[in-house]
Amino acid sequence: MDDAQLLRYSRHILLDDIGVEGQARLAAAHALVIGAGGLGSPAAIYLTVSGIGRLTLVDDDTVDLTNLQRQILHGTDDVGSAKVASGAASLARLNPDVEVATVRARVTDVELARLVAAADVVLDCTDNFATRQAINRACVAHAKPLVSGAAIRFDAQIASFDRRSPDAPCYACLFPESDEVEDVACSTMGVFAPLTGIVGAMQAAEALKLVIGLPSLSGRLLLLDAKTMHWQAITLERDPACSVCGS
């Protein structure tokens, strides 16, 4: 790191659990953020300002006026623009040291496998069950840590699935692929704007810790009721009969 970078990241470097070595690990790491909306916006922002070396942002959507209540990567002037283009421009303004790549597509399983294989940590910031399961399958196949978040109305959840440890559960251990799940969209159900910021920032925190080697949420699911600000933690165990990671 040069002098400017040492100064930029000095508040991280002062932390004994990060230091110069941890910051260097971040600079060498590649984060894959799938979804540039309510969760992906704060997640990508905090990864970028924290000094992740490379970030790939994936989304096939364009910015809509209704997004601006919570999707803080985008502004009024970005309405109608591709979310990945708007997001990349915002991230470049925040930290030009970070290499930002974009994929404007609803990625296929083949493309998803390629993207996951190239990343050090994956953040699922999507809003539908089928995509979440596809991301999980790719992360299990390539043994990449996955940070999953969700938020709707006043309710949210976050968990990390670190299959670099053979005893760790995967997303499908918690939500089996065979389950019939009805996707609910904030366009019909609503979402409390700061809730996506809370969860997205936590996803970034988990991803940074996984890269540095600090303890993570792997093996736990956190649930938040934002109306009461009540947190609940649930212990997760690997399902030996899991269709994705089971033996």
Tell me which residues are annotated as active site. Answer: 186
* Phi–psi pair at 172, nearest 5 degrees: -75, -20
Cα 244 to Cα 247: distance, rounded to the nearest angstrom: 9
Strands of the 220-225 sheet, one edge to the other: 99-103, 54-58, 30-34, 121-124, 146-152, 155-161, 220-225, 230-235
Look at the block and give the residue holding tokens 């109305």.
153
* C-beta separation of 30 from 6 below 8 A: no
Among 36, 26, 207, 13, residue whose Cα is nearest residue 122: 207
Among 118, 83, 97, 119, residue whose Cα is nearest residue 50: 97
Task: Specify which residues 62 forms β-bridges with.
Answer: 82
